[in-house]
Amino acid sequence: MRKLSYTLGASLILTCLLSSLSLAADVPKALHGVKAANLSEAAQDFIRPGLKLKIESFTVPADTLKPVVVFSVTDTAGQPVDRAGVFTPGTVTSSWVFARINADQTQYTSYTTRTQTSPITGKSAVQASADSGGTYVELKLGTYQYTFGTKLPANYPKNVTHTLGVYSTRNLTAWGYTNYVVNEFYHYVPDGSPVKKMRDVVATAACNQCHNPISAHGGSRREMLLCNMCHYPGVIDPDTGETVDMKVMTHKIHRGSSLPSVIGGKKYIIYGNAMSLHDYSEVGFPQDIRNCNVCHQKAVQAENWASAPTRDACASCHDNINWETGANHAVGPQVSDEYCSACHPVGGAKEFDVSVKGAHVNPMKSAQLQKPKFEILSIDNAAPGKNPTVTFRIRNKNGKLVPIESMARLGLSITGPTTDYAIRRSETLNATNCIPDSYTGTISYRFATPLPATWAGTFNFAMEGAMSTVLNPGGPKQQTVNDPADVVSKYVAVTGDKIVPRRQIVSDAKCDACHDKLRFHGSSRRNGGSYCSTCHAPGFVSGNASLNMSYMTHKIHAGKDLSRGYKIGNADFSHIGFPGDLRDCQQCHLPGTYTPPLPDGIASTITKDDFFTPTPPVSTGCLSCHDTKEAAAHAALNIASFGEACATCHGTGTEYDVAVAHAR
């Protein structure tokens, strides 16, 4: 009878789903794959994509000491989902972790563990893991009870924070959608007192600035809290002896190639599930490693890195310190964390002192910088056969005028046309070739060479430069740094009356989400992602390597995923790993800027290292990541002397729309 009632119920649900317009309106129609794109609306309504999990109750029975959790699973619209995938599509998995924060500690200790024995060393280690040996009972469609296989100790502490965590998936890939992932938590103190202690040092949102999203162990762990519940002090990798404590492991991974131990010749390796080797010795943090607050933000305990120094945390980056002997530690041995803050106080007297914050000041963020700012006021005589004159001002961060003599470097460039950059001229400015106006505070510069008669259309006039600033003058940490200004640009029509700005493909803000501030070529090209294209044009090559901005940037970011690698001279980018998802074009691109067809007038790229050259613009973007011979042959078959046919299959709304082909 139970089977019959479920069958009738499933039929009724299916009928309602296919006929109910109100329910259909609640179901997201965002498509996640090629198959899903071809499904009818009725089929999509039946599949009901998405996954939500809610912990309804949690108890630890006194007689069994085996935790019991009641939970519900629904789709995005809130309708119940069958965990077994029989009455609704897609099997739902759920794995449970249970941990506590002991009274004298700040990090978790897990009740759910496993013993891992290394086939390399023969050593064993107890590691946190999901519960095993538990049982599920269906209470009703979409609501279930799980009883842990793990039995808590009779004397488990009832006056401290306990956290139940779950990572759950619903796999709809067979239907053309994705494998949906949910992480949920339940916090409580068993004796009924309020939860006061938590572990919230780094927020998931901070990680996702680059990682898009953070997704460890096959993609099912996506919240930092879940990471903290398993990765705590005392848990090690038995294959290498390395700790997998979250704060130590994360610091070491992100510093990777610049760890003192790695520079000294040692590799930083962790073995994962099924003996998967993870060598982090070539990992490079995409900005200055001293920018601690890029990760330590948006969390309740985000300031812990500066206010609660410990030997483990410090030696995770400075991993050549020996606390027992005192090697590479200025004051010698340190047997506990008790006195760390005595030498490394919370506040600190000034930048670059021995306080944690002071010692980690990035010189490019120093409060002592002048931070010059450019303002282009006017451009005259910008026409073929004439010498353009640019009038500008330079001020420091306080608005005070900066004389040109104070600039260590100052340059003006003219690049165009804006349909696609092909011509560039740059000249260096100094006190001898500029005319200052002391009354207005302006400076004028007349280009030494007239514009050629062949120049036509809109051109980009851009200014770049930097001061040379001494930090901590007269002090023990005195240093001279390049103090750059943000690049400023102004478009000018050298012929005609209409100014046509260059199309904007990426935003500096998107670059800075990972890179903080783009700084290249001595830091004088600062915050100029768009400016980079004025040099890195389709015809720019070094040896056989194309330095076209779109081609080069794709190649660098796809580094380790390329089949043939990418080098510029002696610089090999083949080891670069993108921390996000390469399919998510909009992590870098602005919407609508990467789907064919592209605007007319974009030049082909000189690609001597590829299977054919030059490469038309759409194929340039695609083949810079999809660099196999087969991909090149596919592109070549769809290129004619008068254009590309890419948009026929990959344009917006087509069967293999780029957005669909790159769906996650």
Q: Please provide the distance, in angstroms rounded to a whole number, between the alpha carbons at the two ends of the chain.
A: 41
Q: Which of 348, 107, 120 is nearest to 230 (CA)?
A: 107
Query: In the predicted model, what is the mean pLDDT of residues 23-32?
Result: 36
91, 224, 395, 474, 578 from 280: Cα distances, Å: 34, 20, 43, 39, 13
CA–CA gap between residue 607 and residue 587 (Å, rounded):
25
What φ, ψ does residue 362 adopt, rounded to 5°? -75, 120
Do 2-244 and 365-503 have matching folds?
yes
The predicted pLDDT at position 76 comes to 93
Q: Is the pLDDT of residue 226 over 60?
A: yes
The predicted pLDDT at position 350 comes to 85
Q: Is the pLDDT of residue 26 over 60?
A: no
The predicted pLDDT at position 522 comes to 67
pLDDT above 70 covers a percentage of the chain that reads 93
Tokens describing residue 103: 């009274």
Average pLDDT, the chain: 91
The predicted pLDDT at position 485 comes to 93
State the CB neighbour count (10 A cutoff) for residue 281: 17
Angle made by CA atoms 505, 508, 509, in degrees to the nearest 5: 115
Lowest mean pLDDT segment, chosen from 23-27, 324-328, 595-599: 23-27
The predicted pLDDT at position 571 comes to 93
Q: Could you read off the pLDDT of 376-419 as tens digits, one per residue?
A: 999 999 999 999 999 999 999 999 999 999 999 999 999 999 99
Tokens describing residue 500: 């046509």
Query: In the predicted model, what is the mean pLDDT of residues 449-461?
Result: 97
DSSP string, 96-118: EEEEEE-TT-SSEEESSEEEEE-
State the CB neighbour count (10 A cutoff) for residue 596: 21
CA–CA gap between residue 485 and residue 373 (Å, rounded):
5
The predicted pLDDT at position 1 comes to 33
CATH 3.30.420.40 fits 365-503, yes or no: no
pLDDT band of 333, cuts 50, 70, 90: very high
CA–CA gap between residue 571 and residue 551 (Å, rounded):
16
Q: Could you read off the pLDDT of 63-72 as tens digits, one per residue?
A: 999 999 999 9
pLDDT band of 528, cuts 50, 70, 90: low
The predicted pLDDT at position 35 comes to 60
- Tell whether the torsion through CA atoms of 615, 619, 621 and 623 is positive or negative: negative
377 φ/ψ sector (left φ>0, alpha ψ -120 to 50, else beta): alpha
pLDDT band of 627, cuts 50, 70, 90: very high
Q: Which of residues 529 and 178 earns the better pLDDT score?
A: 178
- Tell whether the torsion through CA atoms of 135, 138, 139 and 144 is positive or negative: positive
Provide the whole-model pTM.
0.90
Q: Could you read off the pLDDT of 88-112 as tens digits, one per residue?
A: 999 999 999 999 999 999 999 999 9
Query: In the predicted model, what is the mean pLDDT of residues 167-186?
Result: 94
Q: Which of 413, 378, 410 is nearest to 394 (CA)?
A: 410
pLDDT band of 508, cuts 50, 70, 90: confident
160, 161, 162 from 196: Cα distances, Å: 9, 7, 11
The predicted pLDDT at position 349 comes to 66
pLDDT band of 523, cuts 50, 70, 90: low
Q: Could you read off the pLDDT of 463-481 as tens digits, one per residue?
A: 999 999 999 998 888 999 9
Lowest mean pLDDT segment, chosen from 127-141, 178-192, 235-249, 579-593: 579-593
DSSP string, 452-521: PTT--SEEEEEEEEEEEEEESTTSTT-EEEEEEPBPEEEEEESSSS---PPPP-B-HHHHHHHHSS-EET
Q: Where are the domains of the chain?
A: 2-244, 365-503, 536-664
CA–CA gap between residue 74 and residue 81 (Å, rounded):
5
Tokens describing residue 304: 């812990």
Q: Which of 97, 105, 67 is nearest to 234 (CA)?
A: 105
Tokens describing residue 521: 């070529």
CA–CA gap between residue 228 and residue 147 (Å, rounded):
23
User: Over the range 205-236, which residues count as b (16 or more CB within 10 Å of their CB) and which as e?
Assistant: ebbbbbbbbbeeeeebbbbbbbbbbbbbbebb
The H or E element containing residue 426 is strand 423-428
The predicted pLDDT at position 448 comes to 97
CATH fold of 2-244 reads Immunoglobulin-like (2.60.40)
Task: Please report, as a single letter, which amino acid is at residue 530.
Answer: S
Q: Is the pLDDT of residue 489 over 50?
A: yes
DSSP class of residue 597? S
Q: How many CA atoms lie within 13 A of 145 on its CB side?
A: 12
Q: Which of residues 175 and 644 earns the better pLDDT score?
A: 644
Q: Which of 421, 417, 387, 378 is nearest to 495 (CA)?
A: 417
Task: Please report, as a single letter, which amino acid is at residue 550.
Answer: S
Lowest mean pLDDT segment, chosen from 20-24, 256-260, 658-662: 20-24
In total, the chain counts a number of residues equal to 664
Task: Please report, as a single letter, which amino acid is at residue 169.
Answer: T
Query: In the predicted model, what is the mean pLDDT of residues 37-59?
Result: 88
pLDDT band of 10, cuts 50, 70, 90: very low
The predicted pLDDT at position 30 comes to 40
CA–CA gap between residue 635 and residue 461 (Å, rounded):
35
The predicted pLDDT at position 663 comes to 79
Cβ–Cβ < 8 Å for 635, 628: no
Residues forming a β-bridge with 53: 73
State the CB neighbour count (10 A cutoff) for residue 561: 13
Q: Is the pLDDT of residue 524 over 90?
A: no
Query: In the predicted model, what is the mean pLDDT of residues 289-295?
Result: 95
The predicted pLDDT at position 212 comes to 87
Cβ–Cβ < 8 Å for 150, 11: no
Q: Is the pLDDT of residue 17 over 70?
A: no
Residues 6 or more apart in contact with residue 202 via CB below 8 angstroms: 224, 250, 295, 296, 299, 302
The predicted pLDDT at position 29 comes to 38
Tokens describing residue 199: 């572990």
Q: Which of residues 1 and 273 earns the better pLDDT score?
A: 273
Q: Could you read off the pLDDT of 560-569 as tens digits, one per residue?
A: 999 999 999 9
The predicted pLDDT at position 525 comes to 67
237, 249, 272, 399 from 233: Cα distances, Å: 12, 10, 17, 50
pLDDT band of 589, cuts 50, 70, 90: very high
The predicted pLDDT at position 251 comes to 98
The predicted pLDDT at position 23 comes to 31
Q: Which of 6, 128, 122, 148 is nearest to 68 (CA)?
A: 148
